[in-house]
Structure 1
Amino acid sequence: MSGSDALALVALVAHVAFLAVSLWLIRIDVREHRLPDAIVLPSAAGIALLLGLAEPSRIGRAAVAGVVLFASYLALRLLVPGGLGGGDVKLASLVGVVLGWHGWAELAVGAVLAFVLGGGHAVALLALRRARRDTHIAFGPWMLAGAWAGLLV
């Protein structure tokens, strides 16, 4: 196996790990409305490490993207208390790192689609009278769906 093949394999492993963690967190957040630190934080560190090994020239942008998305979600949490949970804020760092590793456009698309998809879901629930304005809706699944859409678009 050549060096470039090995690096491509490491990038593939990072993305498969992100997919596995995404599915695991979606399941937990839908059922329990929480995103456990014990999953989010080690996953963020491990996946960032793998992406850094796969393509070291991209890790700076990925780190900045993770910080930017984390700070954006933290600002939203502080501006609109009760709107986002702490788990969403921490998950934003993982999502930002993965999307940022790919590029700024992927970060923008993934970040915006999270709100478009989550907002559309909330509007549908309201229209169907399955939720009220004060109903808590898990946002982690929409963050992760937006991230994957950003990667695939």
Structure 2
Amino acid sequence: MDLHEALVVLVHLALLGVGVWLLVIDVRTHRLPNRIVLPTLVALLALAIIEALLTGQVRSLIGAVLGMLILGGFYAALRLVSREGMGGGDVKLAAVIGIVLGWHGWQALAVGAASAFVLGALYALVLMALHRADRSTRIAFGPWMIVGAVLGIAAG
């Protein structure tokens, strides 16, 4: 394993830690704090830029920026359509996840984005079947976004 690969693994382990932290917070409070999400967003953009400058490979940087814009934009549109459904933290987290998945490639982005909605819907259906939720029950979506991102990375 060369230095670049070791650094990529290290960044992914750090992201896993941040993801677990956000997952726990969102489940408990239905919030994704800006004090965690926004610095993560800035750090990931900086790392993608630094990697492109050091390696001379801009493909991953372009994928990361497009992933951020596509996934963040999609969640922003969902938030505009229904303020009660998607929270602002979800939109910002989508931009973070878009950077990571876009850096990995289009397949990772598609699988990660779709997995979040499929898993979240299945969870809601199970809760409704068990009569622990109804159509008005608020369900934290951040955890499903994070799990979906892990699946996207694994598939990509």
Q: Which residue identity lines up with residue 41 of structure 2 in the other structure?
A: A
> 1:152 corresponds to which residue?
154
Task: Work out whether 1:38 is the aligned partner of 2:35.
Answer: yes
Q: Deviations over 1:59-104 (max 9, x none)?
A: 1210111011111000011112201100000000000000000001
Q: Retained in 2: the 8 A contact 1:69–1:92?
A: yes
CA-based RMSD of the aligned residues comes to 1.4
List aligned pairs for 1:64-103, cutoff 5 A. Answer: 64-103=66-105
Q: Retained in 2: the 8 A contact 1:29–1:35?
A: yes
Secondary structure at the aligned position of 1:135 is classed as coil
Q: Which residue identity lines up with residue 125 of structure 1 in the other structure?
A: L
Gaps of 5+ in 2: none
Q: Which residue identity lines up with residue 133 of structure 1 in the other structure?
A: R
> 2:125 corresponds to which residue?
123
Aligned with 1:17 (options 14, 30, 35)? 14
* Aligned residues between the structures: 150
2-structure distance, mates of 1:124, 1:54: 42
Q: Which residue identity lines up with residue 113 of structure 2 in the other structure?
A: A
- Percent identity reads 48
Gaps of 5+ in 1: none
2-structure distance, mates of 1:28, 1:74: 21
1-structure distance, mates of 2:46, 2:6: 14
Secondary structure at the aligned position of 1:132 is classed as coil
Structure 1: 4+ residue segments shifted above 3 A: 51-56
Deviation at 1:10, TM superposition (A): 1.9
Q: Retained in 2: the 8 A contact 1:18–1:47?
A: no
Q: Retained in 2: the 8 A contact 1:11–1:51?
A: no
2-structure distance, mates of 1:139, 1:93: 14
Q: Which residue identity lines up with residue 145 of structure 2 in the other structure?
A: M
Deviation at 1:9, TM superposition (A): 1.9
> 1:106 corresponds to which residue?
108
Give me the TM-score of the superposition, normalised by structure 1.
Answer: 0.93
2-structure distance, mates of 1:15, 1:50: 12
Give me the TM-score of the superposition, normalised by structure 2.
Answer: 0.91
Single out whichever of 48-57 and 18-27 deviates more from structure 2: 48-57
2-structure distance, mates of 1:65, 1:140: 17
